[in-house]
Amino acid sequence: MRIAIKLALFVAGVSQLGLSQHFRQLTIPTGPGPRWVAVADVNHDHNPDILVANAGSENDDSGSITVLLGDGHGGFHPAANSPFFAGHLPNDIAVADMNGDGNLDLIVANHQSPYLRVFLGDGHGSFRLAPGSPVNVHSNPHPHAVVVADFDSDGKLDAATESWGNNQTEVLRGDGTGRLISPGRFFATGRRPYERLRTADFNHDGHPDLVTTNLDDDTVSVLLGDGHGGLRNAPGSPFRAGAKPWELAIDDVNGDGSPDLIVIPYQRDISRPSENAVTVLLGDGNGSFHPMPGSPLPLGECRGPNSVAAGDVAGDGTQSIVVSCAESRTMQIYRRAKEGNFIPTTIPIAGGWGSVAVAPLMTDRRSAIITANYDANSITIYFSN
């Protein structure tokens, strides 16, 4: 399949201090309704590839995954069977080797359905549905997000999703062949862990932990893994995380070697600046978190913040926080200054309720920004100049 690629030479954003940042912009068509973006090398050529979950229509099972293979120089082309069917409203993608064959596989959460789907990779960029998939995860009422880690230390990767109607998260054991054993084990969170959960080792004990955004009590729950499949609330969890926490990213914001949390709200009303803001919680290395000095970061004219990511966008070793704003069709880039504060820059984007990702895509390892343009059936890559 041939695709048309549109290249706009430059797009510029201006910060509140008058500083500008320029980007080379590349737009690539996807399937209908791109919702989520992930980056991984799925064909063993040492170049990052882009994976896009296309929601399709709410009225049918038209969801798909687009696989775009990178050449390491900023170019991308679709893999052989891309896009391929992925069920109803795929909303999140995790990437991991689920069957131990050395090839990366995909785990997809299907919104408004009870399923996770595992797709086994062939090492060349093509994927097929794993035996036993789709998996009914028995969540209430349906999953939004999925993460993968070895929660029980048996050498086989497991998956976790949320059951927001029960105020729980669910961990499903993997059998090492690509199958997930359902139902899994359920663990209590805050109220309505609706949109996002992520995994990291928050207390440096070598075991994967979980964090959820809890929409109805303005918190995040940090659940520490015991290495045997169990999870317990970290000391002080759940933690206050601003009004209606919606999406989150994990990054070492202050460079102390411990993961931190970056949380954005479900907020469409910019007349409430105290609620329309990014909350940054710094990890203490033991599983507890406290607000970063200067947090929350005002989102200003950003309406409908819907996704957040972090990385070295400028290529100078300085971390930036990136927020996509669906309704204002803008992107906010918060670059950390030498003094430690964050300077925001606003850039127009194609928009819609799609995600944003930050990852190195070229051989120079400088991170690029990728937006999923839900309303335009495309992604846009922003390469920093």
Q: What is the CATH number of the domain that holds 149?
A: 2.120.10.30
**Whole-structure pTM value:** 0.93
User: 345 is in which domain, residue-wise?
Assistant: 23-384
Tell me the sheet residues that pair with 50.
39, 68
Length of the chain, in residues: 385
Collapsed DSSP state (helix, strand, coil) of residue 333: strand
Does 196 map to a domain?
A: yes
DSSP symbols for 311-339: E-SSSSS--EEEEEETTTTEEEEEEEPTT
Does 162 map to a domain?
A: yes
pLDDT at 10: 45
Tell me the C-alpha to C-alpha distance, in Å, between residue 44 and each of 37, 59, 113.
19, 37, 33
- CA distance linking residue 379 with residue 226, whole number of Å: 39
Burial of 129 (0-12, 13-18, 19+ CB in 10 A): middle
* Tally of structural domains, the chain: 1
Q: Which of 278, 280, 384, 361 is nearest to 325 (CA)?
A: 278
Does 1 map to a domain?
A: no
Does 362 map to a domain?
A: yes
Does 12 map to a domain?
A: no
pLDDT at 363: 80
Does 2 map to a domain?
A: no
Tell me the sheet residues that pair with 197.
212
Collapsed DSSP state (helix, strand, coil) of residue 165: helix
Does 8 map to a domain?
A: no
pLDDT at 318: 84
Q: Are strands 63-70 and 84-87 parallel, antiparallel or unpaired?
A: antiparallel
Collapsed DSSP state (helix, strand, coil) of residue 234: coil
Does 13 map to a domain?
A: no
Considering only CA atoms, give the Rg of the chain.
19
* Tens-digit pLDDT string for the chain (385 aa): 333 334 444 455 544 433 446 889 999 999 999 999 999 999 999 999 999 999 998 888 889 999 999 999 999 999 999 999 999 999 999 999 999 999 999 999 999 899 999 999 999 999 999 999 999 999 888 899 999 999 999 999 999 999 999 999 999 999 999 999 999 999 999 999 988 999 999 999 999 999 999 999 999 999 999 999 999 999 999 999 999 999 999 999 999 999 999 999 987 666 677 789 999 999 999 999 999 999 999 998 898 999 999 999 988 888 899 999 999 999 999 998 877 789 999 999 987 788 999 999 998 778 999 999 999 999 999 998 7
